[in-house]
Amino acid sequence: MDDIVDLVTRSLADDTAAEFTERVDEQAMQLRRAIEAGEFDNEAFSVGLEIELYAINAEPDPPEPDEEADDEGVAEEDLDDDLSGSGGAAWSGSLDAPAEPEDGAGASLEPNGDGPSLEPDEGDPLEPAGGESLDQNAGETAAESEDSFGPGEGPSLDIDPDSPLAEDEPETPEKEEAEPAVESSVEEESDEPYMDPEDWEGRLTRLPDVVFEGEANKELGLHNAEVNTEPNSFDQTGMEVQTTAVEMQTKQARQQASKHNCELVLDAMWTIPPEEGSEQYLSAHETNDGVVLADNMRQAPRYVALDNEALDHAGGSIDFDVPGYSGSFPTILFESLATSIQPHLQVPDAEAFTEYYNAAIRTLGPLLALSVNSPFLPADMYGDTDGEWLCANTHHELRIAAFEQSVNTSENPKVRVPRDLDDTTDVVGRVVDDDQFAPFLREFLHDDERTAFEDEFWEFDHKRGTYWRWLRCVVGGTPVDGASTEKSLRIEYRPLPTQPHAKDMIGLQALTVGLIRGLVVADHPAAELPWQEARRSFYSAAADGSDADLSWVTAGGERTADHDEIYDEIFQYARLGLAEQGVPEARIDEYLDPIEARYEAGMTPSDWKIDRVRQSLDAGDDLSSAIQSMQRDYIEASREHHSFDEWV
């Protein structure tokens, strides 16, 4: 603990900031030259996926002492391919370069979260309770660790595993090191007390460190886990490998958690509170030599430093304000309410990167509206809020507000919709210009020479890890056979919530990368939609989900707000993009049909949740009971089915 406090204190010192800034400037200059010289051009497109989950106390099956079947084999058979898990680090995007320098040029429509709005003249698409809009916190995308697609990253605080902030202090007692990882058996747990299923509550719970010896990677909260696929070439084989990886790694991670009385849930926001209550869990902390240490946050230098930096900017507490709830927290940990998935698309032609990036911005609203999955906070946070009012007024994607308001405490909001790129080298400049949070110097954590590519740009990569935008550029990463070297440029697509099944997440991955590729290959005029309209559509989707007021430019160059026209093109051009990459028609249908079916049914996971809560309220339940009942039904439905469209 003393080591962490010392590192955080050094990180926040003035002399560190000055040296860090000098190094970032120098490294950025080298990167710009390398991009202009064509060193970041590659052979082919690549794809990958990050998946975030949370843990609840497991609902145990009755003990079966006579069963002697191999535990690992049984687990594989019993787990559906929609269960959560984690994968190894995908792209080690040690050089993730943020995508836009939001210099505040032009009046943006970003909703305010808590901090002062940079664009006071704009309306607030998402108005939190009390009339404050999310525009204050709005900005460009949430941060993620880009070294390897997210190991050790959180929806908003991801840092690459190779970045300065990536090295966690030991958190597991020595005695746990002897615990088996995937090999641990049910028999080893047979002395655990059996809990009658009627007593199961599905409460949020902390994950023991031994769970992370398997496929799961650590995240911001002690209840969080992440699964990452290794990147593959964007073609038929690569997409099939991605599908298998998502299915198997989520199975394996869930299997590992189940051996320790935990269940990893594929969901975008937990709603059944831990035993001590949600606000207590998210607020618990201690102060050591002036450094705030959140009890339920991973005690990693990167997280602690970022927490203290954000708190300092906010004056010691951070406000959180959404329909039905208004409060403040002494730590950024309330960001861990949210879990998400992040598709990645590597673009091989550096010169064409701006075209792909700007087209992707226009897809944010429509794709978020299809995937919304977090309409409720934990049930105990609502107090005496009227249930019917809440169902009518809550945002369909509260993740957006939770992420933005938790870290948008500096003068220039760090989480927001990024602006268009004019030149590919802008991805470097925007990182340089971004507000500096908790800088580290490489020698704080490493005493060896800088020999590898990622070492050379270590400080830049560290700052890139705190450049949070809803669409972000990653500069550099793990080489992909037949596609790229470690010098690559990729789009990190950050606004999508975690879905109920692996099949849904694979479908959204295919829809996202296929659509971006299809729009560009067909020279579709989507990017002609004014940036302000793309941004407004995004926040409308977060607030209203499938009823969002969306804007789009059709293939014929006409502006439209008609959902049928918009989604006809969304699916048409996604299919085109996948076909362009050699994915067979039958496979394309397999990926996209479940997502298209939810549009045709007019039902998103968020709609389903709100409907379930309304049904419980109509039956006489209070709001807290209704939300918790809905959550248990969600978990049960995710076990019984293979994709969300089967629910409806």
Q: What is the 3-state secondary structure (H, E, C) of 377-436?
A: CCHHHCCCCCHHHHHHHCCCEHHHHHHHHHHCCCCCCCCECCCCCCCCCHHHHHHHHCCC
DSSP-assigned beta bridge partners for residue 232: 47
Q: Check whether 224 has a pLDDT greater than 70.
A: yes
**pLDDT value at residue 200:** 82
Q: Are 381 and 281 contacting, i.e. CB atoms less than 8 angstroms apart? A: no
Predicted confidence at residue 214, as pLDDT, reads 86
Helix 502-521 to helix 563-580 angle, to the nearest 10 degrees? 90
- Number of other residues whose CB lies within 10 A of the CB of residue 5: 18
C-alpha 378/C-alpha 382 separation (Å) is: 8
Separation CA 250–CA 580 (nearest Å): 29
Residue 463 Rama label (left phi>0; alpha psi -120 to 50; beta): alpha
pLDDT digits (tens, 9 = 90+) for 344-362: 999 999 999 999 999 999 9
C-alpha span between 425 and 198 (Å, rounded): 58
The arithmetic mean of pLDDT across residues 196-211, rounded, is 87
Confidence of residue 648 (pLDDT cuts 50, 70, 90): confident
Indicate if the pLDDT at residue 190 is higher than 70.
Answer: no
Measured CA to CA, the distance from residue 444 to residue 640 in angstroms comes to: 49
In the 8-state DSSP scheme, what is residue 55? Answer: E
Per-residue pLDDT band at 158 (split at 50, 70, 90)? low
The answer to whether 332 and 318 have CB atoms below 8 angstroms apart is yes
| Distance in angstroms (rounded) separating the CA atoms of residues 374 and 176 | 34
What gap in Å lies between CA 26 and CA 459, rounded to an integer?
A: 10
Q: Could you tell me the CA-to-CA distances from 437 to 10, 82, 432, 434, 464 in Å, in that order?
A: 13, 37, 12, 9, 10
Q: Which residues pair with 340 in a beta bridge?
A: 497
Mean of all residue pLDDT scores within the chain: 84
pLDDT of 67 > 60? The answer is no
CATH of 1-46+288-646, picked from 3.30.590, 3.30.500, 2.60.40, 3.40.50, is 3.30.590
pTM of the model: 0.84
Q: What are phi and psi of 113, to 5 degrees?
A: -95, -80
Q: Mean of the pLDDT values across residues 105-111?
A: 35
Q: Where are the domains of the chain?
A: 1-46+288-646
State the burial class of residue 439 (Cβ atoms within 10 Å of its Cβ: 0-12, 13-18, 19+). buried
Q: Are strands 341-347 and 489-493 parallel, antiparallel or unpaired?
A: antiparallel
- Whether 470 and 538 have beta carbons less than 8 Å apart is answered as yes
- Picking from 593, 138, 84, 570, the residue whose alpha carbon sits closest to that of residue 362 is 570
Q: Token match 């840092």: residue?
A: 159
Residue bearing tokens 């698309």: 345
CA atoms within 13 A on the CB side of 334: 32
Half-sphere exposure of 151 (CA within 13 A, CB side): 24
**Measured torsion, CA atoms of residues 301, 305, 306, 309, in degrees rounded to the nearest 10:** 180
Contact 219, 298 (CB under 8 A): yes
Rounded distance between C-alpha atoms, residue 497 and residue 266, angstroms: 10
pLDDT tens, 109-126? Answer: 333 444 433 333 334 445
Residue 333 has pLDDT above 70, yes or no: yes
CA distance 91 to 286: 35
